[in-house]
Chain A
Amino acid sequence: EVQLVESGGGLVQPGGSLRLSCAASGFTFDRYAMHWVRQAPGKGLEWVSSIGWNGASVGYADSVKGRFTISRDNAKNSLYLQMKSLRAEDTALYFCGKDLDYRYYGLDVWGQGTTVTVSS
């Protein structure tokens, strides 16, 4: 079964850091681009970051650029999102997603999400 499982969310103070992980199983991880998408409570979907199959190509939303870093470890079938200088507006449910391809066509597999709450 193709599966993505996020972890690492939690409550953090403004200015703090968190590292989200996404464990992949059931598919050949290093053949696909991967994504992070977030959803603030009661709001729509917001694309956060994407990474190519080999990690060479990465991109970030302006709202997180310079604060978040996406990475992957193909040997461990894992995707990561290092988040620093967290703000209240980063509070959201964070999903990792697998792309249909090594290029970018859409997210065909999603995790269940991990909740990040930034509050003092």
Chain B
Amino acid sequence: DIQLTQSPSFLSASVGDRVTITCRASQGITSYLAWYQQKPGKAPKLLIYAASTLQSGVPSRFSGSGSGTEFTLTISSLQPEDFATYYCQQLNSYPPFTFGPGTKVDIK
């Protein structure tokens, strides 16, 4: 099975900061990677799919990059509504469609 790791697991940042979260796969997954944002008590929200394609309606300050085993989610200028937990998910090799352990972005 493909394992995903995320770094950092916790990130403290200020409004306006540039934030980068990394997701690494234990083996190559081409570009079959999605990123989600989840706020407490809410269902996750799809931000990025196919590693770098911005989901409709998602602000352009979010971007994704990478292929193979290393991927990044970047928030170019953190906004108050971006404080949340972020998860990556691989959809290349199934089962399982593994999720990463999550990165919590908190207010500094």
Interface, chain A (partner B; CB < 8 A): 35, 37, 44-47, 49-50, 59-62, 95, 100, 104-108, 110-113
Query: Does B43 lie within 8 Å of A110, measured CB to CB?
Result: yes
Q: List 23 A-B contacts (CB under 8 A).
A: A37-B44, A44-B85, A44-B100, A45-B38, A45-B87, A49-B95, A50-B94, A50-B95, A59-B94, A60-B95, A62-B96, A100-B46, A100-B49, A104-B91, A105-B32, A105-B50, A106-B34, A106-B36, A106-B50, A106-B55, A107-B34, A110-B45, A112-B43
Task: Give residues 22-78 of B contacting A (CB, 8 Å).
Answer: 32, 34, 36, 38, 43-46, 49-50, 55
Chain A contact residues: over half helix, strand or loop, or mixed? strand
The answer to whether residues A108 and B97 also contact, given A44-B102, A45-B102, A47-B89 and a CB cut-off of 8 A, is: no
For residue B83, CB closer than 8 A to chain A, the reply is: no
Give the interface of B toward A (CB within 8 A). 1, 32, 34, 36, 38, 43-46, 49-50, 55, 85, 87, 89, 91, 94-102
Q: How many residue-residue contacts, CB under 8 A, span A and B?
A: 72
Chain A residues closer than 8 Å to B43, beta-carbon distance: 95, 110-113
Interface of B is mostly: loop
Q: In the complex, how many angstroms separate the beta carbon of B61 from the nearest chain A beta carbon?
A: 19
- By the criterion CB–CB under 8 Å, are B49 and A45 in contact? no
Q: Is the CB of A47 within 8 A of B46?
A: no
A44 touches B101 (CB 8 A): yes
A31 and B100 CA atoms in complex are apart in Å by: 27
CB distance from B105 to the nearest CB of A (A): 14
Q: Is the CB of A47 within 8 A of B49?
A: no
Roughly how many angstroms separate A62 CA and B97 CA in the complex, as a whole number? 11
Collect the chain B residues with CB atoms within 8 Å of residue A35's CB.
Answer: 97
Contact in complex: A47, B34 (CB < 8 Å): no
Q: Which residues of A contact B34 (CB under 8 A)?
A: 105-107
| A62 to B91 Cα, complex, angstroms | 16
Task: Write out the residue numbers on chain A whose beta carbons fall within 8 Å of the beta carbon of B46.
Answer: 100, 106-108
Q: Which of B38, B49, B87 has the most CB of A within 10 A?
A: B49
